[in-house]
Amino acid sequence: MSVSYESYRTIFNGCFNISFGYPRADTCSKCDELIANISHCDSKLEITPSDAETLKEKTTLQTEKELHQRKAEMFYVRKRAARERAKVDKSTLAVAFDFQQELHVPNLTTNDVFYRRHFSVHSFNVHELGGDNVYIYAYDETTRKRGFDDVAPMLHHFIQTYCPGEVKHLELFCNSCRRQNKNFTFFRFLYGQVYLWNRFDSVRVSFPVRGHSYMECDRDFAFINKKVPAELPSEWYAEFRSARRS
């Protein structure tokens, strides 16, 4: 029986409990260290199986690894719960935000370009978890940088422009970079949203364990073609506007 692509997609996505993982090139250094140390203990136990000190060390490492991974998983548990709340409760908005890895112009393969000074283009992604709406703030290095003084104005613009007035509870998910999110300026901005301007009744920020910060923003960045032969920042901006899920 032949069916259309849309019918196949609807059935595949709605009737099967199948998920696909994302290949990771930036694995957690803590996990890698613990796995390597446990493997080292296993190698020692192959030679002396009854070595009490090695057995104790392995048990300690396994416990530490399990605790580390449980803490890491809690970030994703909170994010999933926030997504579900935002879908059914109009007074709640859950968003994830992050900077993309720096893009450059000119982005050409010519060998002369490789050795020249590149001009940086920054992009800041805000992803609504409840509705999967994506907003990208793009600018070049002459406009702003990527620090805490740059994150707050973009979030303020997002709140003023795209956040419905009925939203009273804001849940934010971001990485633990002190230069961007985990600092006094950022939390002073959020404090003002609740206690000075009375925009929200509550704001909750969740930070992941270092090395376990994969978010929807990373998935959005994957739709941007990094090989675009951009010679001007405007050509990157055009790529952002044309990027879509297949």
245 vs 65, more confident: 65
**Does some domain include residue 63?**
no
pLDDT at residue number 111 = 82
**What proportion of the chain, given as a percentage, has pLDDT over 70?**
95
Question: CB within 8 A of 114, min separation 6: which ones?
Answer: none
Residue 49 domain-assigned (yes or no): no
**pLDDT mean over 50-78:** 93
**Does residue 100 sit within a domain?**
yes
CATH code at position 122: 3.30.420
Count up the domains in the chain and report the number: 1
The string over 17-39, giving b where at least 16 C-beta atoms fall within 10 Å of a residue's C-beta and e elsewhere, is: eeeeeeeeeeebebbeebeebbe
pLDDT for res 22: 54
How would residue 10 be classed by pLDDT, with cut points 50, 70 and 90? confident
For position 245, what pLDDT does the model report?
60
Alpha helices in the chain (DSSP H): 5-15, 29-47, 52-88, 111-114, 148-162, 184-191, 216-221, 233-242
In a domain, 217, yes or no: yes
- Of 235, 240, 239, 232, the closest CA to residue 119 belongs to 232
Answer yes or no: is 214 within a domain. Answer: yes
Range of the domain at 218: 73-242
Q: What is the pLDDT of residue 5?
A: 83
Domain presence at residue 165? yes
Q: Assess if residue 81 is contained within a domain.
A: yes
Does residue 209 sit within a domain?
yes
